[in-house]
Amino acid sequence: EIVLTQSPGTLSLSPGERVTLSCRASQSITSGYLAWYQQKPGQAPRLLMFGASNRATGIPDRFSGSGSGTDFTLAISRLEPGDFALYYCQQYDTAPWTFGQGTKLEIK
Amino acid sequence: QVQLVQSGSEVRKPGSAVKISCKASGGSFNGYSINWVRQAPGQGLEWMGDIVPVFAIPNYAQKFQGRVTITLDESTSTAYMELTSLRSEDTAVYFCARDYSVKAPFFEFWGQGTLVTVSS
Protein backbone atom coordinates (compact mmCIF):
# COMPACT_ATOMS: atom_id res chain seq x y z
CA GLU A 1 0.00 0.00 0.00
CA ILE A 2 1.05 3.60 -0.50
CA VAL A 3 2.35 5.14 2.70
CA LEU A 4 1.90 8.88 3.09
CA THR A 5 4.25 10.76 5.39
CA GLN A 6 3.24 14.22 6.50
CA SER A 7 5.61 16.78 7.89
CA PRO A 8 6.02 18.41 10.22
CA GLY A 9 3.97 16.69 12.90
CA THR A 10 3.08 19.96 14.57
CA LEU A 11 3.36 23.57 13.48
CA SER A 12 3.01 26.55 15.82
CA LEU A 13 2.12 29.73 13.99
CA SER A 14 0.26 32.99 14.50
CA PRO A 15 -2.85 34.26 12.74
CA GLY A 16 -1.94 36.13 9.58
CA GLU A 17 1.08 33.98 8.80
CA ARG A 18 1.48 31.68 5.83
CA VAL A 19 2.08 27.94 6.23
CA THR A 20 3.11 25.06 4.03
CA LEU A 21 2.27 21.45 4.88
CA SER A 22 4.03 18.56 3.22
CA CYS A 23 2.79 15.11 2.21
CA ARG A 24 5.25 12.61 0.74
CA ALA A 25 4.20 9.31 -0.82
CA SER A 26 6.14 6.04 -0.74
CA GLN A 27 5.52 5.62 -4.45
CA SER A 28 4.41 7.88 -7.25
CA ILE A 29 0.76 8.95 -7.25
CA THR A 30 -0.40 9.15 -10.83
CA SER A 31 -2.62 11.94 -12.10
CA GLY A 32 -2.31 13.81 -8.82
CA TYR A 33 -4.90 11.66 -7.08
CA LEU A 34 -4.34 13.30 -3.72
CA ALA A 35 -6.81 15.02 -1.40
CA TRP A 36 -6.43 17.17 1.70
CA TYR A 37 -8.75 17.34 4.69
CA GLN A 38 -9.09 19.56 7.74
CA GLN A 39 -10.34 18.08 10.98
CA LYS A 40 -11.32 19.85 14.17
CA PRO A 41 -11.84 18.10 17.53
CA GLY A 42 -15.02 16.07 17.68
CA GLN A 43 -15.82 16.62 14.02
CA ALA A 44 -15.62 14.62 10.84
CA PRO A 45 -12.91 15.60 8.38
CA ARG A 46 -13.73 18.36 5.91
CA LEU A 47 -12.60 18.04 2.31
CA LEU A 48 -10.32 20.91 1.30
CA MET A 49 -8.59 19.87 -1.91
CA PHE A 50 -8.71 17.08 -4.45
CA GLY A 51 -6.70 16.25 -7.51
CA ALA A 52 -3.80 17.83 -5.65
CA SER A 53 -4.76 21.38 -6.58
CA ASN A 54 -8.54 21.67 -6.86
CA ARG A 55 -10.40 23.39 -4.06
CA ALA A 56 -13.56 21.72 -2.82
CA THR A 57 -16.82 23.60 -2.72
CA GLY A 58 -16.76 26.55 -0.36
CA ILE A 59 -13.04 26.43 0.36
CA PRO A 60 -11.51 29.92 0.26
CA ASP A 61 -8.67 30.72 -2.10
CA ARG A 62 -6.36 31.17 0.90
CA PHE A 63 -5.97 27.39 0.55
CA SER A 64 -3.92 26.06 -2.34
CA GLY A 65 -2.50 22.68 -3.21
CA SER A 66 0.32 21.63 -5.45
CA GLY A 67 2.64 18.77 -6.23
CA SER A 68 2.99 15.66 -8.32
CA GLY A 69 4.62 12.27 -8.21
CA THR A 70 5.58 11.69 -4.60
CA ASP A 71 5.66 15.23 -3.17
CA PHE A 72 2.58 17.29 -2.45
CA THR A 73 1.98 20.51 -0.56
CA LEU A 74 -0.93 22.32 1.01
CA ALA A 75 -0.41 26.02 1.54
CA ILE A 76 -2.55 28.31 3.64
CA SER A 77 -2.00 32.02 3.37
CA ARG A 78 -3.10 34.57 5.97
CA LEU A 79 -3.97 32.07 8.69
CA GLU A 80 -7.26 32.70 10.44
CA PRO A 81 -8.24 31.40 13.91
CA GLY A 82 -10.48 28.75 12.34
CA ASP A 83 -7.57 27.28 10.38
CA PHE A 84 -5.88 25.88 13.48
CA ALA A 85 -6.74 22.20 13.24
CA LEU A 86 -5.44 18.85 12.07
CA TYR A 87 -4.70 18.35 8.39
CA TYR A 88 -4.57 15.01 6.57
CA CYS A 89 -3.62 14.05 3.06
CA GLN A 90 -5.19 11.04 1.34
CA GLN A 91 -4.21 9.21 -1.82
CA TYR A 92 -6.82 7.64 -4.05
CA ASP A 93 -4.52 6.40 -6.74
CA THR A 94 -4.12 2.82 -5.53
CA ALA A 95 -6.37 0.84 -3.19
CA PRO A 96 -6.35 0.66 -0.28
CA TRP A 97 -6.90 4.40 -0.02
CA THR A 98 -4.52 5.67 2.62
CA PHE A 99 -4.14 8.77 4.74
CA GLY A 100 -1.12 10.52 6.14
CA GLN A 101 -0.67 10.59 9.90
CA GLY A 102 -1.63 14.25 10.03
CA THR A 103 -0.11 17.64 10.75
CA LYS A 104 -1.41 19.62 13.69
CA LEU A 105 -1.54 23.36 13.15
CA GLU A 106 -1.62 25.13 16.49
CA ILE A 107 -1.72 28.74 17.57
CA LYS A 108 1.59 30.11 18.74
CA GLN B 1 -27.49 18.12 -0.12
CA VAL B 2 -26.78 14.61 1.09
CA GLN B 3 -26.50 14.07 4.82
CA LEU B 4 -25.14 10.87 6.29
CA VAL B 5 -26.58 10.01 9.69
CA GLN B 6 -24.95 7.25 11.70
CA SER B 7 -26.22 5.14 14.55
CA GLY B 8 -25.24 5.91 18.12
CA SER B 9 -22.31 4.97 20.31
CA GLU B 10 -21.72 1.33 21.18
CA VAL B 11 -19.90 -0.48 23.97
CA ARG B 12 -18.81 -4.04 23.31
CA LYS B 13 -16.80 -6.71 25.06
CA PRO B 14 -13.68 -8.20 23.48
CA GLY B 15 -14.53 -11.02 21.09
CA SER B 16 -17.98 -9.69 20.29
CA ALA B 17 -19.23 -7.87 17.18
CA VAL B 18 -20.71 -4.48 16.38
CA LYS B 19 -22.86 -3.31 13.50
CA ILE B 20 -23.10 0.38 12.66
CA SER B 21 -25.55 2.00 10.27
CA CYS B 22 -25.21 5.02 7.99
CA LYS B 23 -28.38 6.46 6.47
CA ALA B 24 -28.45 8.96 3.65
CA SER B 25 -31.03 11.63 4.28
CA GLY B 26 -32.07 14.12 1.68
CA GLY B 27 -31.54 11.60 -1.07
CA SER B 28 -30.05 8.26 -1.88
CA PHE B 29 -26.42 7.37 -2.28
CA ASN B 30 -26.84 8.37 -5.91
CA GLY B 31 -24.80 5.44 -7.10
CA TYR B 32 -21.65 6.60 -5.32
CA SER B 33 -19.68 4.24 -3.14
CA ILE B 34 -19.99 4.41 0.61
CA ASN B 35 -16.78 4.07 2.56
CA TRP B 36 -15.96 3.32 6.17
CA VAL B 37 -13.06 5.11 7.82
CA ARG B 38 -12.05 4.77 11.44
CA GLN B 39 -10.04 6.91 13.83
CA ALA B 40 -8.63 5.52 17.06
CA PRO B 41 -8.31 7.97 19.96
CA GLY B 42 -5.65 10.55 19.16
CA GLN B 43 -4.75 8.75 15.96
CA GLY B 44 -5.11 9.29 12.24
CA LEU B 45 -7.65 8.12 9.71
CA GLU B 46 -7.78 4.54 8.45
CA TRP B 47 -9.81 3.36 5.45
CA MET B 48 -11.56 0.07 6.12
CA GLY B 49 -13.47 -0.58 2.94
CA ASP B 50 -16.30 0.50 0.71
CA ILE B 51 -19.33 -0.75 -1.15
CA VAL B 52 -20.53 0.13 -4.61
CA PRO B 53 -24.30 0.72 -4.82
CA VAL B 54 -26.35 -0.99 -7.50
CA PHE B 55 -23.87 -3.85 -7.64
CA ALA B 56 -23.51 -4.03 -3.82
CA ILE B 57 -19.93 -5.17 -4.24
CA PRO B 58 -17.78 -4.57 -1.15
CA ASN B 59 -14.04 -3.94 -1.14
CA TYR B 60 -12.06 -4.33 2.05
CA ALA B 61 -8.65 -3.21 3.20
CA GLN B 62 -6.54 -6.30 3.70
CA LYS B 63 -6.05 -5.46 7.35
CA PHE B 64 -9.75 -6.01 8.01
CA GLN B 65 -10.41 -8.92 5.63
CA GLY B 66 -12.29 -11.65 7.40
CA ARG B 67 -13.50 -9.38 10.22
CA VAL B 68 -15.44 -6.67 8.42
CA THR B 69 -18.63 -6.88 6.39
CA ILE B 70 -20.07 -3.87 4.59
CA THR B 71 -23.60 -4.11 3.26
CA LEU B 72 -26.14 -1.83 1.68
CA ASP B 73 -29.92 -1.60 1.81
CA GLU B 74 -30.79 0.63 -1.09
CA SER B 75 -34.50 0.54 -0.28
CA THR B 76 -33.75 2.55 2.86
CA SER B 77 -30.56 4.25 1.63
CA THR B 78 -28.69 2.72 4.55
CA ALA B 79 -25.20 1.25 4.62
CA TYR B 80 -23.96 -1.02 7.38
CA MET B 81 -20.53 -1.96 8.67
CA GLU B 82 -20.12 -4.98 10.91
CA LEU B 83 -16.84 -5.67 12.65
CA THR B 84 -16.37 -8.98 14.46
CA SER B 85 -13.86 -10.46 16.90
CA LEU B 86 -13.49 -7.08 18.52
CA ARG B 87 -10.39 -6.24 20.52
CA SER B 88 -9.40 -3.21 22.54
CA GLU B 89 -7.48 -1.79 19.56
CA ASP B 90 -10.79 -1.50 17.69
CA THR B 91 -11.89 1.25 20.06
CA ALA B 92 -12.35 4.15 17.68
CA VAL B 93 -14.74 6.55 16.04
CA TYR B 94 -16.09 4.98 12.87
CA PHE B 95 -17.15 7.27 10.03
CA CYS B 96 -19.06 6.56 6.87
CA ALA B 97 -18.22 8.76 3.91
CA ARG B 98 -19.51 8.99 0.37
CA ASP B 99 -17.31 9.04 -2.70
CA TYR B 100 -17.17 12.49 -4.27
CA SER B 101 -18.38 11.02 -7.55
CA VAL B 102 -18.10 7.86 -9.58
CA LYS B 103 -14.54 6.54 -9.43
CA ALA B 104 -13.49 9.49 -7.29
CA PRO B 105 -12.82 7.92 -3.91
CA PHE B 106 -12.21 11.00 -1.87
CA PHE B 107 -14.84 12.18 0.53
CA GLU B 108 -16.91 15.33 0.65
CA PHE B 109 -19.84 13.95 2.65
CA TRP B 110 -19.23 12.31 6.01
CA GLY B 111 -21.38 10.89 8.75
CA GLN B 112 -21.04 12.37 12.21
CA GLY B 113 -19.08 9.37 13.46
CA THR B 114 -19.95 6.52 15.81
CA LEU B 115 -17.81 5.82 18.86
CA VAL B 116 -17.24 2.14 19.47
CA THR B 117 -15.64 1.28 22.80
CA VAL B 118 -14.30 -2.22 23.29
CA SER B 119 -13.75 -2.98 26.94
CA SER B 120 -14.17 -5.87 29.30
CA gap B12, B26 in Å, rounded: 31
Q: Given a cut of 80, is residue A96 above it in pLDDT?
A: yes
Question: CA-nearest residue of chain A to B48?
Answer: A96
CA-wise closest residue to B4 among B80, B91, B57? B80
> What's the pLDDT tens digit per position in A17-46?
999 999 999 999 988 999 999 999 999 999
Tell me which of B8 and B103 has the higher pLDDT.
B8
CA gap B72, B35 in Å, rounded: 11
Find the mean pLDDT for residues B7-32. Answer: 91
Q: Residue A97 is nearest to which of B105, B110, B111, comparing CB atoms?
A: B105
Q: Given a cut of 70, is residue B27 above it in pLDDT?
A: no
How many angstroms separate the Cα of A106 from the Cα of each of A19, A85, A90, B116? Answer: 11, 7, 21, 28
CB neighbourhood size of A77 (10 A): 15
> What's the pLDDT tens digit per position in B51-86?
988 888 899 999 999 999 999 998 899 999 999 999
pLDDT at position B53 is 85
CA gap B88, B104 in Å, rounded: 33
pLDDT at position A101 is 97
Q: Given a cut of 80, is residue B26 above it in pLDDT?
A: no
> What's the pLDDT tens digit per position in A47-95?
999 999 999 999 999 999 999 999 999 999 999 999 999 999 999 999 9
Smallest Cα distance from B119 to chain A, Å: 21
Contacts of A92 in chain B (CB under 8 A): 104-106
Contacts of B108 in chain A (CB under 8 A): 47, 56-57
